[in-house]
C-alpha cells in the first residue's frame, strides 16, 4: 500500500512526538486520529508486551463528555447495560445500540460523578448520535469532546512502572475502577483497564500540554524495567478475544451476535433506545455469533476484508481478524459463524487470500 498523506484532518496526538522518537513503523487511522500499530514488528511487540511493560498512545480513544443533571439519563438511553448499580469511580464496558439494536460503538463508560461522564469511544463518530439525542430529547446536558487523551501502560510490569511515577496507591486500584492521582501538580484519572489481557492501566490525560511530560516520565522511570513504546497488538488482542469495532462487528450486528450479551440487561435497562428491538430479537436468540477460530497452515497474510467461511461449498460465516500466534503455534482468528456451524470443534474451510485453509471453531478464546 502507498503512504497516507498527512493533513490537519488526520489528527496527531499529544504523544505523537514521543511515538515518532520511539521509532513507530506504521499507523492506522482511528476516530480521525493517528494510532500506532507497529514499533519493532508485530511479533516482537507481542513478545515484549507479554514479558515487560509498554506505554501506548491510545489518544484516539476519544472521550465524549456528558455534563449536567441529565447526563445519567442520557447514558442509559445509549446502552442495554443496566447502569443503576454503577457508582462514581467505576468504568463499565457498554455496548451502544441504535433503535434497531445494531451496534454503534463498544466504548468504556467512565462515571466521574452523577452528573459527569466520559464515554471512551471505539472507532465511530458517536459524538453526533449523542448530541442528536441530547437535543431531540431536550436534555439538560452538555455533550462535547474534551481535550482528554488516554495513555495506556500495559504488561506484567505495569504495576511497578506506574508505582514509580504515581506512588504505591496505583497498586490498590481494582479492575475497571479509577482513582484521581497527582502528576506534577495536575489531577489525572488512572483506571485499571486497557485493550490487552496482560494487565495494566489507562491514564486519562486532561490537557495536551501534559502529554509529553507524562510520556517522558514513564519512559525515564521504566528504564530498568525494559519499558518500550507499544500499541494495541493484533496477535494479543485476537488471542484475548478483544473485539475491534468496524472490523469484527458493525451496526449490522446486535450485541448478542457479538457475544456481548453478558454486558446487556435488556429487561431492566429502562430507557435504552434499542430496548424494544433487542427484546424482540432476544426471543429467538441470535442466528450467528462471534467465535474464536483456529486456522491451519503457515502464518496468514495481513487482511483488510472478510474471508468467507465455508462448510463444503456452503457459506456459513466470515473471518474478520486473523494473525499468526507464536505462543499457540497456530493462526488465531475472530469470525462470525452461523448457528448451524458454531459448536466447538466444528471443522470449516476458510477462503484466505492465499488459498483455502482448514479451520476449527473454538468454544473459547485462547487466554
Which residues of the shown chain bind ligand THG in the complex (CB under 6 A)?
61, 93, 106-108, 120-122, 150, 176, 193-195, 202, 242-243
Q: Output 35 or 310, the one with its CB closest to ligand THG.
A: 35
The minimum distance between CB 296 and ligand THG, in angstroms, equals 27
- 138-164 exposure pattern, b = at least 16 Cβ within 10 A, e = fewer: ebebebeeeebbbbbbbbebbbbbbeb
Rounded least distance, CB 260 to ligand THG, Å: 8
| Three-point CA angle 47, 52, 53, nearest 5° | 110
Q: 3-class DSSP state for residue 28?
A: strand
- Which of 70/202 has CB closer to ligand THG? 202
- CA-to-CA distance for 55 and 36, rounded, in angstroms? 11
The nearest distance, CB 235 to ligand THG, in angstroms, is 16
- Shorter beta-carbon distance to ligand THG: residue 176 or 366: 176
Helix (H) or strand (E) holding 78: helix 71-78
Q: Report DSSP state, residue 210.
A: G
Which CB sits closer to ligand THG, 97 or 350?
97
| H/E stretch holding 16 | helix 16-21
Which residue in the block uniquely carries the three cell numbers 506534577? 184
Min dist CB 52 to ligand THG, Å, is 19
Q: Which is nearer to ligand THG, 260 or 310 (CB)?
A: 260
The neighbouring-strand residues paired with 321 are 334
Nearer to ligand THG, 14 or 316 (CB): 14
Q: How far is the CB of 234 from ligand THG (least distance, A)?
A: 14
Give me the DSSP letters along 252-303.
Answer: TS-TTTTT-GGG--TTT-TT-TTHHHHHHHHHH--SEEEEEEEE-SSPPPP-
DSSP letter at 4 equals P
Shortest Å distance, C-beta 138 to ligand THG:
29
> Judged by CB, which is closer to ligand THG: 129, or 316?
129
Q: How far apart are CA 187 and CA 14, in angstroms?
A: 17
How many C-beta neighbours within 10 Å does residue 280 have? 11
3-state SS class at 162: helix
Is residue 140 within 8 A of residue 69, CB to CB? The reply is yes
Q: Which is nearer to ligand THG, 150 or 230 (CB)?
A: 150
CB of 202 to ligand THG, least distance (A): 5
The minimum distance between CB 70 and ligand THG, in angstroms, equals 23
Amino acid at each position: 500500500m502507498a503512504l497516507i498523506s498527512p493533513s490537519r484532518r488526520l489528527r496527531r496526538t499529544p504523544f505523537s512526538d514521543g511515538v515518532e522518537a520511539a521509532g513507530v513503523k506504521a499507523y492506522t487511522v482511528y476516530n480521525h486520529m493517528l494510532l500506532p500499530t507497529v514499533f519493532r514488528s508485530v511479533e516482537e511487540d507481542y513478545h515484549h508486551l507479554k514479558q515487560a511493560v509498554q506505554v501506548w498512545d491510545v489518544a484516539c480513544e476519544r472521550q465524549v463528555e456528558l455534563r449536567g443533571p441529565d447526563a445519567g439519563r442520557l447514558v442509559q438511553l445509549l446502552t442495554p447495560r443496566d447502569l443503576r448499580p454503577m457508582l462514581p469511580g467505576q468504568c463499565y464496558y457498554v455496548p451502544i445500540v441504535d433503535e434497531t439494536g445494531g451496534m454503534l460503538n463498544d466504548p468504556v463508560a467512565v462515571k466521574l460523578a452523577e452528573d459527569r461522564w466520559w464515554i471512551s469511544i471505539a472507532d465511530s463518530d458517536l459524538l453526533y448520535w449523542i448530541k442528536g439525542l441530547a437535543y431531540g430529547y431536550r436534555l439538560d446536558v452538555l455533550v462535547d469532546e474534551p481535550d482528554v487523551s488516554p495513555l495506556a501502560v500495559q504488561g506484567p510490569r505495569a504495576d511497578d512502572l506506574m508505582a514509580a511515577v504515581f506512588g504505591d496507591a496505583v497498586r490498590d486500584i481494582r479492575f475497571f475502577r479509577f482513582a484521581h492521582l497527582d502528576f506534577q501538580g495536575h489531577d489525572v484519572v488512572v483506571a485499571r483497564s486497557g485493550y490487552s489481557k496482560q494487565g495494566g492501566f489507562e491514564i486519562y490525560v486532561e490537557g495536551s500540554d501534559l502529554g509529553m511530560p507524562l510520556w517522558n516520565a514513564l519512559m525515564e522511570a521504566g528504564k530498568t524495567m525494559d519499558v518500550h513504546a507499544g500499541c494495541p497488538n493484533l496477535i494479543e488482542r485476537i488471542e484475548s478475544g478483544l473485539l475491534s469495532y468496524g472490523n469484527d462487528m458493525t451496526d449490522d450486528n446486535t450485541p448478542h451476535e457479538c457475544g456481548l450479551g453478558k454486558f446487556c440487561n435488556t429487561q431492566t435497562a429502562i430507557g435504552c433506545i434499542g430496548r424494544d428491538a433487542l427484546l424482540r430479537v432476544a426471543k429467538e436468540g441470535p442466528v450467528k455469533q462471534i467465535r474464536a477460530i483456529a486456522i491451519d497452515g503457515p502464518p496468514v497474510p495481513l487482511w483488510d476484508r472478510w474471508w468467507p467461511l465455508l462448510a463444503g461449498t456452503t457459506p456459513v460465516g466470515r473471518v474478520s481478524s486473523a494473525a499468526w500466534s507464536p505462543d499457540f503455534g497456530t493462526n488465531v482468528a475472530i469470525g462470525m459463524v452461523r448457528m448451524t456451524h458454531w459448536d466447538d470443534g466444528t471443522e470449516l474451510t476458510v477462503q484466505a487470500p492465499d488459498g483455502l485453509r482448514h479451520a476449527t471453531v473454538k468454544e473459547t478464546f485462547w487466554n
